[in-house]
Structure 1
Amino acid sequence: MERRTFLRASVAGAGAVAFSGGLWQNAAFAAPAQNAAGPYGSLQAADANGIQLPAGFTSQVVARSGQTVPGTSYTWHGAPDGGACFADGSGWIYVSNAELSAPSGGASALRFNSSGTVTSAYRILNGTSRNCAGGATPWNTWLSCEEVDTGRVWETYPFGGTAVVRPAMGRFNHEAAAADPVRRVIYLTEDKSDGCFYRFVPTTWGDLSSGTLQVLKAGTGTSGSFTWGTVPDPDGSPTATRSQVSGAKRFNGGEGCHYADDTVWFTTKGDNRVWQVNLATGTYELAYDDSLVSPGTPPLTGVDNVTGSGFGDLYVAEDGGNMEICMITPDDKISVFLRINGQSSSEICGPAFNPVGNRLYFSSQRGTSGSSSGGITYCVTGPFRT
């Protein structure tokens, strides 16, 4: 079996963490993903929401910034960004960050029943700044990350509870987080042109109040081996966390992050790359690089948030570009899954699957208006590979 197929065949998706999976035996690096026809066929004409989808898929608007969420009394937040889904009995909860300056930042949640109807909506984090992305934990909390130089990670409680800041996870320009239940760590990206890739090792798994912040150390190439170095001062003052460890590898604008099956993927917007870190072997490589795509034009530009399906497909959202969500399949093929028309001044954020894997949630941060007050949160339903 091809190496990445073997790695990703048992991804659990749902925007959270993954379970099980085998370890690959071949140490050779695979080539980054190349253009190919998508597994669902070509895009159809835009629907009533301006979204082009493959045949058999449909879209709906579930919330709009500044407007009451249908079926509730809650006003949806502006600038919706990173998100995740959590199982809730026979239904689920979708959480979404608000990438607004303090005190308007934070995060909200939508609760759905088994038929996908919103039953309630509510705030889970208030008063923070530029909550961009984040990540779900295995204990059903949402890590909401602040994208400012002294940004922090806030642990929030979609099922109820008061959000708590987690200073041990470092103060830097946080972007996304991904939980690894095997090694019992949280991976973290940093949105700086000379940013780093981190992991937080909690003293006790399931308790993020204390632990060790580490940074990935490697050479300057796009593949090779790596180690971890401990950040002496996670507070990042007076020396920024990314400048404290000699040999820390630099990444050009870290964005989305996703863990599955002994592998963590993350994106870097400054060079339109998707990186793959093979945790079982201590090696890293490129899963996608727009400068290495052939034949034809690279489909994915403005790489941003990333999630995975139960089948092992990666879904990468664009910040700008052609306002697309692209798919990278386990056999290293890339194609366009959907395209939003008429929203060129926006970005696609927060892709996440519901627990069953037949609904994909995401937002257009600025919608048709190009303003943070015009955000739109969508759901796409269809025959996703699971």
Structure 2
Amino acid sequence: MTATGRPATRRQMLAGTGALGLGIAFSGTLAELFAGTAAAQTTGHAGYGPLVPDPKGVLDLPEGFRYRILSREGDPLRSGEGAVPSNHDGMSAFEGRGGRVHLVRNHENRHNGRIPVPAVEGLTYDPAAKGGCTALTLDSRNHVLSERVAIAGTAVNCAGGPTPWGTWLTCEENEDKAGTNGYTKDHGFIFEVDPVDPRRTGAVPLTAMGRFQHEAIAVDPRRGVVYETEDAFDKPFGLFYRFLPERPLGGRGSLRAGGRLQAMRVPGVPDLSTIQDIGAAFDGIEWVDVPDPQAARTPIRLQDFGRRGITHAQKLEGCYWGGRSVYFVSSFARTGEGSAADHYGQVWRYDPERRRLTLVVVFGPDTDVQLPGESPDNICLAAGGGLMVCEDGEGAQHVYGVTRRGEVYAMARNRQDIGSPEEPEWGEFAGVTFSPDGDTMYVNCYTPGTTFAVTGPWRR
């Protein structure tokens, strides 16, 4: 909230969370990034300069930047396993040998998805499900060396997150049980994917991590605790979870050993949307054991957490670890859909050592849907400092950046019109990530499914 008590006109950035600007090594966490910044101003010339219209009508970028299309839905997979699946979503980049980069890419296909992930023996969980992941291997110049199925037979693979040991955890944003929508197995799980050799991990659900509408995860690199967001579609909305592994930081396959799933309770706060004051902090955060992580009869968010209840939030999406804290995103909240209050996007920080939850960023409101500024989704640290954020909103679709000074600028605009001349429409961006050396930004266009490699003067 501003000093007048009204919501900020674009974004309010947190100042005074203990980070003191130059005294803090830039780690990519939002609290440190925006410390001392009163507000971020959107201008056409912040960051790397204005976007230059692409004569091919595909992707607008600032001058000096260029893109390479790595993969498009419907094209043949280089492995010969079938076509490149549709609905490109969450993604991460992993370092390979000899300057190679391994990309793992989610495909958020539902039971009626356009182009399914091809079923491959040994990598398929449920032959009736159309989602999954594909893996690309690139050389140092972003030429595609291989492209293959990494896991198949999963449902609505939305986001996920990397592990400290170099694997990808892909999340099913779905909780259909066997017999629903033609599925032959229960869904709503996390699966581990090895980006180098997916057969090392196979298609094994990590059932102890819960069965619900998963969105994203982040791993505490010191303790091995895995934090999980739930993007439930209807009220009561999703929960924020932590998973305490039996074998923390045990490497590939260690999460199969099981553990304990807990949900976050903020004392006195049943719905996070009611908190609108930037810097609002809550100590003594509680973690409550989930009664039935498998949701055998009742979805977890509907289960009995005792007389004190549990804390919900609408559209819990992006999740990542930075510094000593985990950050998670609520893309928006709407009272018309059941939330207790409205907002255009929040970013929360949880410090496990202090057991403190802090609201660090509030987005909007904003009525100009042609500019970035609402419904934040995937977030990653940019190569030259600051952040890159995929906006999941209305109208024109952007990847936008936020500089260390708090300036907000458009980094890319999708020009692939999937609408009509009367009602143009552009697919959202997803899965923004950077190569290990920071020289390339990889990002997906959800529809039509397209994976880009963007290079240019990132360190300018």
- TM normalised by structure 1 equals 0.85
Runs of at least 5 residues in structure 2 that lack an aligned partner in the other structure = 1-14, 111-127, 177-187, 334-343, 418-424
CA deviations on 1:150-207 (whole Å, 9 max, x unpaired) are 5110111111121321011111111111122023211111112511111212111132
Q: What residue is the counterpart of 1:275 in the other structure?
A: 347
Structure 1 Cα separation of the partners of residues 371 and 24 of structure 2: 24
1:123 partner amino acid? V
CA contact (8 A) 1:148 1:173 kept: yes
Q: Secondary structure at the match of 2:48?
A: coil
From 162, 185, 193, the equivalent of 1:156 is 193
CA contact (8 A) 1:154 1:163 kept: yes
C-alpha displacement of 1:49: 4.8
Structure 1 Cα separation of the partners of residues 227 and 146 of structure 2: 31
Pairwise CA RMSD? 3.0
Q: What residue is the counterpart of 1:174 in the other structure?
A: 214
Tell me the matched-pair count: 365
Structure 2 Cα separation of the partners of residues 316 and 247 of structure 1: 33
From 76, 80, 100, the equivalent of 1:91 is 100
2:319 partner amino acid? C
Larger displacement relative to structure 2 (316-325 or 214-223): 214-223
Structure 2 Cα separation of the partners of residues 180 and 319 of structure 1: 26
C-alpha displacement of 1:4: 7.8
C-alpha displacement of 1:78: 1.4
Q: Aligned in 2, Cα 1:123/1:4: closer, same or farther, shift over 3 Å? A: farther
Structure 2 Cα separation of the partners of residues 348 and 154 of structure 1: 23
How much identity, in percent, do the aligned residues show? 31
From 387, 396, 413, the equivalent of 1:314 is 387
Q: What residue is the counterpart of 1:341 in the other structure?
A: 415
- TM normalised by structure 2 equals 0.72
Structure 2 Cα separation of the partners of residues 212 and 385 of structure 1: 42
C-alpha displacement of 1:31: 7.4
CA contact (8 A) 1:35 1:296 kept: no
Mapped pair 1:48 → 2:56: yes
Q: Which protein shows a greater Rg?
A: 2
Q: Aligned in 2, Cα 1:202/1:4: closer, same or farther, shift over 3 Å? A: farther
Structure 1 Cα separation of the partners of residues 35 and 147 of structure 2: 45
CA contact (8 A) 2:212 2:230 kept: yes
Larger displacement relative to structure 2 (163-172 or 340-349): 340-349
Q: Secondary structure at the match of 2:246?
A: strand
Structure 2 Cα separation of the partners of residues 228 and 266 of structure 1: 16
Q: Aligned in 2, Cα 1:274/1:8: closer, same or farther, shift over 3 Å? A: farther
Indicate the structure whose relative CO is greater, using CA pairs within 8 Å and at least 6 residues apart: 1
> Greater strand share, 1 or 2?
1
Structure 2 Cα separation of the partners of residues 283 and 31 of structure 1: 20
Pairwise mapping of residues 41-80 of structure 1 onto structure 2 (< 5 A)? 41-69=49-77, 73=80, 75-80=83-88
CA contact (8 A) 2:37 2:405 kept: no
Structure 2 Cα separation of the partners of residues 47 and 201 of structure 1: 51
CA deviations on 1:198-248 (whole Å, 9 max, x unpaired) are 121211113212111122222252432233222222112323222343443
